[in-house]
Structure 1
Amino acid sequence: MPLLKVLRPTLPILVGASIMLTLGMGLRQSLGIFLQPLTRDIGISVSDFTLAVAVQNLAWGFLQPMAGALTVRYGFRPVMMIGSVFNVIGLALMAMAHGLTSIIIGGGILIGIALACTASAIAMSVSARAVPATVRSTVLGMVSAAGSLGSLLAAPIGQVLSEDYGWRAGLAGFVVLSILMIPAAWYAGRVDRVPLPKTSGDEIGNTSAGVAVKAAFSNASFLVMTCAYMVCGMQLVFLTTHLPSYLAICGMDPMLSAQTLGVIGGFNVLGSLFFGWAGGRWNKLMLLGMIYVSRSLILAWYFMLPPTPASTLLFGALMGFLWLGVGPLVAGAVAEMFGLRWQAMIQGLAFMSHQLGSFLGAYGGGLIYDALGSYTMAWRIGVALGLAFGIIQIAFALIRPLSPPPVLKAA
């Protein structure tokens, strides 16, 4: 009850941010279920489809800092509204596609722009600004958890529509769902009326974007977190893009991939809540490293054995618990180091690395499959890099606790 009392004045903002995030991320994470039927129907290869996903991730990552900077200049509402409209248009172009160009523009560029304006960095910054510091990490976990429900809804809907009426109907269903992002973004935009609270890093609040960027890249903790974040993106987007194809190759029921993505979404909720709570009590960077190491071990276990429905659903549950837990930890770490005014932009800088990894996971996985006829080499690379960067993140967290950068202390 005390938490609810604290949050009551900002509930419309938090609900709007959660719905916007859950729809944007859920629809995007479920696009892999259309890989096989779409590529067969319009005559493109697996690597062509994954190129569109890779372009999406690059556009999202490299435009994320710009979108964050624009929220400081113009406010969150116009940025989120424009992003929501782009998401609808991008999915509509995919649903009407007859060749690679429409897939690249719709599923790649437009959805990438939309995610830069509506996804984790923006939604987390909105939520962080709306609540007191005492409950911030917990609330970030709650919003991330709510944002995890999208794939639980989108993947089964898309799969059922695709099986019964074709993949275009499945994507048309996604278009209808995406329209709901527009009113959600409007309500989340009420955060523009909330006064900017003080945090430990808010000396950066009165500086320019250039000074904020310089401060971020002079902070060793931020740099290590950013590098490890790349492997996070590589592992997750490899799975969302290629797991349905992998299961189809292994002769599994097509519905199993949608069920697994749904299980991932469901356990995302538990993981996001747990790591949001844990981030308010323990070292956020240490927790990130533990997530990366654990994910890598689970990936190795699953792909070393022939898949079964039971092992696949268990794999989805374990990976889901570790999936979006990074969201509240990264957002909380950035707010703790640099304050709130430039949080969306600085978090976007870290996210560029994440999306570079996403590009490698999506497109690199497709190239490896086309060249070798299997995903074995792709998952082995993902496991090796995940273990290496996870261990480095843990080691650095032990010797370098979070703190505002020296240039901010002296400001």
Structure 2
Amino acid sequence: MRTLSPLTLLLLAAGAIVSISMGVRHGFGFFLPPMTQAFGWTRETFALALGLQNLVWGATQPFAGAFADRHGPGKVLLAGGGLYVLGLVLMTVSSTGWLLSGSAGLLLGLALSCTTYSVVFCVIVRAVPDALRSSAMGITAAAGSFGQFMMVPIERGLIDSLGWVPALLILAGMAAALLPLAAPMARAYRNAPPVPAPTGSIWQGMVASFAQAWQQRSFRLLMAGYFVCGFQVVFIGVHLPAYLRDHGLAGGVASMALALIGLFNIGGTYTAGRLGGRYPKPYLLAGIYFARSVVIVAFLLAPLSSVSVGLFAAAIGFLWLSTVPLTNGVIVSLFGVRNLGMLSGAVFFSHQVGSFLGVWLGGLIYDRTGSYDIVWGMAIVLGLMAAAANLPVKEVPVATAGAQA
């Protein structure tokens, strides 16, 4: 019987991790109506908890990445899997906004920082040859997209057939699958070509590496663009179902939209990873952000129907996570692989600040005005600004104390 190559096993494990981790959270917008109705919350209450989730995820991502850079991903992934299960279980008894912020916000934010791209990519960039890195990251990101596509109908079906509490408990069982997947990632890290270990404490290394990276204009511009990415995708992912429901469309249209986003995201992230190995990544990123703004404008101007929603979901889905392999690829081009987990996490923190503002402002402004129009407008303008910010980014290696080609 033919055995799988180590590279194939690594990509399968990495893909399964991000597929579960990203897939489960992709359907959280479906829990907004039943949970707000059950506990008498405003949309801002629910949105604030998910906004906190994104903020915690981003704030702790550099630390999770730095620990994985130094000690491998095994313990990080195990901790993340356990927190994921605990957070989902506690969501079922989170009867107040504060409790929801603790479970869906704090615990799941910590879980996501340990089980998503920065931790997984720190293994891939070490174990995969340079010529294949961009494609490997694209494949892994595409797996996360497949998880989003797969989990949308599952989560909606569980809520409709069993109720939101049993749905969360079943999702917790699915998240438990993250625990055994830590082993193959840890093994791949140990078997990868050795990279000189950073000196000093984790905190000292993080401060020194980030300070040197921050001096580079390209790094700062990359962070600015990723902020916009977070704002756009989390606002759309959480509030699109409610937006469509407000305009009289059936719940199945929202399910179709999120599923299409996940489906076309697979092709978009894979394509971006492939193109990133051939063309300048900053130009590709600028094109993605510009295209997002164009797609949103077209969606808002067109008559709202199931057809227009489907077209919007397909187009925005193709652009959804296509920024992930390109952004991380630029970081590797600039600083090498030695501190990728930490620097990727630092850039991702900017993404999550944008995510927090996108989801929270969506709920806040809706509660104040009864409309999402202002936030849609912000998403359009920010997309154009992100496109302009990425054009001057240079993929020139930077000589820093933390760089390792």
What's the TM-score, normalizing by structure 2?
A: 0.94
- What do the CA deviations read for 1:324-374 (whole angstroms, capped 9, x no partner)? 111111111111211112101001111111011001100011111001000
| Secondary structure of the structure 1 residue equivalent to 2:278 | coil
Q: Tell me, yes or no, if structure 1 residue 129 matches structure 2 residue 135.
A: no
SS at match of 2:179: helix
Q: What are the Cα deviations for residues 47-95 of structure 1, in whole angstroms up to 9, with x where unaligned?
A: 0000001100110001011111111333211011101110111111112
Q: In the TM superposition, what is the alpha-carbon distance from 1:230 to its structure 2 partner?
A: 0.4
Q: Which amino acid aligns with 1:95?
A: T
Specify the alignment match of 1:384 in structure 2. 381
When structure 1 is superposed on structure 2, of 238-247 and 70-79 the one drifting more is 70-79
| Pair 1:220-2:217 in alignment | yes
- For residue 191 of structure 2, what is the aligned residue in structure 1? 194
Structure 1 residue 375 and structure 2 residue 372: aligned?
yes
Structure 2 match to 1:272 = 269
Are 1:351 and 2:344 an aligned pair?
Answer: no
In structure 2, the residue matched to 1:164 is: 161
Could you tell me which amino acid in structure 2 is paired with residue 44 of structure 1? W
Q: In the aligned structure 2, how far is the partner of 1:225 from the partner of 1:379?
A: 23
Give, as a single letter, the amino acid of the residue that structure 1 aligns with 2:300: F
Match of residue 113, structure 2, among 89, 113, 116: 116
Residue aligned with 1:148, SS: helix
Equivalent residue number for residue 247 of structure 1 = 244
Q: Secondary structure at the match of 1:209?
A: helix
In the alignment, does 2:15 pair up with 1:22? no
What's the counterpart of residue 41 of structure 1? 38
Gaps of 5+ in 1: none
2:143 to 113, 128, 146: 146
Q: Distance in 2 between matches of 1:183 and 1:365?
A: 37
Q: Which amino acid aligns with 2:160?
A: E
Provide the TM-score with structure 1 as the length reference: 0.92
Q: Which residue of 2 aligns with 1:70?
A: 67
CA distance in 2, matches of 1:390, 1:79: 34
Q: For residues 298-318 of structure 1, give each alpha carbon's deviation from its aligned partner in whole angstroms, at most 9, with x where no partner exists.
A: 011112334211111111111
Return closer, same or farther for 1:219/1:250 CA change in 2, 3 Å cut-off: same
Change (3 A) 1:163 1:403: same
Q: Whole-Å Cα distance in 2 between the matches of residues 329 and 231 of structure 1?
A: 15
Match of 2:94 in 1: 97
How far the C-alpha of 1:97 sits from its partner, in A, is 2.7
Summarize the alignment of residues 175-214 of structure 1 with structure 2, pairs less than 5 Å apart.
175-196=172-193, 208-214=205-211
Whole-Å Cα distance in 1 between the matches of residues 122 and 107 of structure 2?
22
Residue 151 to residue 118, structure 1, CA distance change in 2 (3 Å): same
Q: Is the 8 A contact 1:17 1:185 kept in 2?
A: no
Is it true that 1:402 corresponds to 2:402 in the alignment? no
Counterpart CA distance in 1 for 2:73 and 2:28 is: 27
* SS across alignment from 1:188: helix
Contact 1:125/1:331 (<8 A) preserved? no
C-alpha distance in 2 between matches for 1:75 and 1:279: 26
Quote the RMSD (CA, aligned, Å). 2.1
